[in-house]
Amino acid sequence: MAFGSNLSALWILNANGWMQYPTGAHFDIDTLRMEMTSFSELVFNPVSQVKFVHTVMAGYVTGAMFIMAISAWYLLRGRERDVALRSFAIGSVFGTLAIIGTLQLGDSSAYEVAQVQPVKLAAMEGEWQTEPAPAPFHVGCLAGTGSRA
């Protein structure tokens, strides 16, 4: 089941990555459609690969949190204390590593977006006006239509 879910996520994110950055295809003016020229370029699209690994890593975070929640429930109920402590510790370590990986891969995904869709990255960051490099760093943003210029 886990393999099938990951395989499904791979193809969904490959399709999404191709829509964001269409590699391995060309536009045929006669038929007015995109036609695939290289299956391997489609599969190994840099945008989709980073998003896929980021998504899988986020799934690991969710799994670790689920294990920790069940372990905490067992600890609160006083059941299987040794097993609950061990599984909570393993879930904590695995979850921490998965969070670090998810953050790193999310940053890598943003770098890919910056390369292929810089305007999209500016919108993601709430940069409504062009500023000289380096752009200011924002920890958070309350973007609204009224603040846009």
Q: Is residue 143 part of a domain?
A: no
Number of domains in the chain: 1
Distance CA 51, CA 1 (A): 21
Q: Is residue 133 part of a domain?
A: no
Distance CA 106, CA 12 (A): 18
Q: Is residue 127 part of a domain?
A: no
Q: Is residue 134 part of a domain?
A: no
The residue ranges of the chain whose pLDDT is under 70 are 138-149
**What integer pLDDT is reported at residue 143 of this predicted model?**
62
pLDDT tens per residue, range 83-109: 999 999 999 999 999 999 999 998 888
Q: Is residue 88 part of a domain?
A: yes
Q: Is residue 130 part of a domain?
A: no
Domain range for 49 is 2-116
**149 neighbors 129 (Cβ within 8 angstroms):** yes
Q: Is residue 128 part of a domain?
A: no
Q: Is residue 123 part of a domain?
A: no
**What integer pLDDT is reported at residue 99 of this predicted model?**
95
pTM above threshold 0.75: no
